[in-house]
Amino acid sequence: MIRIEKLTKTFDTFQAVDHMSFEVPQGAFLVLVGPSGCGKSTMLRMLAGLELPSGGTVQFGDDTVSDGDKGWMIDPAKRNTGLVFQSYALWPHMTVAGNVDWPLKVAGMSKPDRQARVSEVLAMLGIEALAARYPNEISGGQQQRVAIARMIAPRPAILLFDEPLSNLDAKLRVEMRTELLRVHRATGATSVYVTHDQVEAMTMASHVAVLNGGKIEQFGTPEELVRDPATAFVATFVGTPPANLVPVSMLPEQHAKGLRADALAMYRPENITSSAEASANSMAFEFAEASPVAGRTMLTGTQGPLRVTAVVDNAPRLQIGDMVHFGLPETPAAMFAPNGERLS
């Protein structure tokens, strides 16, 4: 449904998006995830037609909608897309029903058909009782539902979300994730969702593009990214908690034997053991924090700049500053070069 080829966006001398290419199948829920400044919002704006690419193309189905090499793009209103911003952007002088009705009116739909569609989408989002209220009379979560209802009312083929849940509290964010997925399935549209929250990405996505420095580090399913990270950045960015990377030069001698001296060894938190006592194969860390996770304990220790997290069943009782000893598996789950490239 969406095909991106060598897409580039440059602002003066800063390259926000650097020759990105990927394809999104019909009905997918793609999440663009990465740290601030990685290019994900710029990418979404180019999909929406709010930014002209500096190079490369954007194709929806069989139609090219942006061509940066030729310097043209189709108007946002003619792309059959819907967009929800972080700020909701509701019209304050219109009621909830009026906000949802407006894009239908612009599209030339008859009044009876508009009224029927407004009622349908308000019911879909569970906000039909708010139809006569104004945006300043409803909560942030309700405003977000109105923004989503307004987006899906014209039945766009592609739904675009720019960090839509970042203004909500933690509990409401979890509820709205479920709501957004339900809306996605009900509409049958292809969705592209931008977030910096990897938990959001991994729980919602059918496909994930991990962005860093304007480039795609890895594109795949959430399971593929966790199971088989392509780069050191992906390994330490996805997962709850993410994987640990330990320089081979810091490993105990028996673990480091036969490994490339300048490489980074990856260990999954659930495969690391912990103890208050040292053993022949353990590494000593200064205890930093502990938190319960689904009946287990997530323990974190530091050794200079190195930070390692383990998820264990029976955590030792420790105080900040105590030493915790982590036992590592005999073989790392993966190896990475110093530049982050996957070695094995």
Percent with pLDDT over 90 in the chain: 78
Mean pLDDT of 1-6: 95
Inform me whether the pLDDT recorded for 28 exceeds 80. Answer: yes
Helix, strand, coil percent content, the chain, rounded in steps of 5 = 30, 35, 35
Determine the Cα angle at 263 with ends 258 and 268, to 5°: 90
Per-residue pLDDT reduced to its tens digit, 195-223: 988 889 999 999 999 999 999 999 999 99
Q: Are 228 and 213 in contact (CB under 8 A)?
A: no
Confidence of residue 270 (pLDDT cuts 50, 70, 90): very high
Look at residue 89 in the predicted model and tell me its pLDDT. 83
The two beta strands, 190-195 and 29-33, are parallel
Instruction: Classify residue 111 by burial, with Cβ atoms within 10 Å: 0-12, 13-18, 19+.
Output: exposed
Per-residue pLDDT reduced to its tens digit, 75-98: 998 999 999 887 878 999 999 999
Nearest to residue 211, comparing CAs of 13, 52, 42, 25? 42
Mean pLDDT of 159-167: 89
Residue 277 or 280, more confident: 277
Mean pLDDT of 16-21: 95
Look at residue 32 in the predicted model and tell me its pLDDT. 95
Look at residue 193 in the predicted model and tell me its pLDDT. 95
* Domains contained in the chain, CATH given: 2-236 (3.40.50.300), 244-336 (2.40.50.140)
Look at residue 262 in the predicted model and tell me its pLDDT. 94
Mean pLDDT of 45-59: 96
Per-residue pLDDT reduced to its tens digit, 115-134: 999 999 999 988 999 999 99
Which of helix, strand or coil describes residue 111? helix
Per-residue pLDDT reduced to its tens digit, 33-46: 999 889 999 999 99
Inform me whether the pLDDT recorded for 294 exceeds 90. Answer: no
Q: What contacts 304, CB < 8 A, 6 or more positions away?
A: none
Inform me whether the pLDDT recorded for 165 exceeds 90. Answer: no
How many whole angstroms separate alpha carbon 50 and alpha carbon 341?
34
Which of helix, strand or coil describes residue 319? coil
Look at residue 140 in the predicted model and tell me its pLDDT. 87
Look at residue 344 in the predicted model and tell me its pLDDT. 85
Percent with pLDDT over 70 in the chain: 100
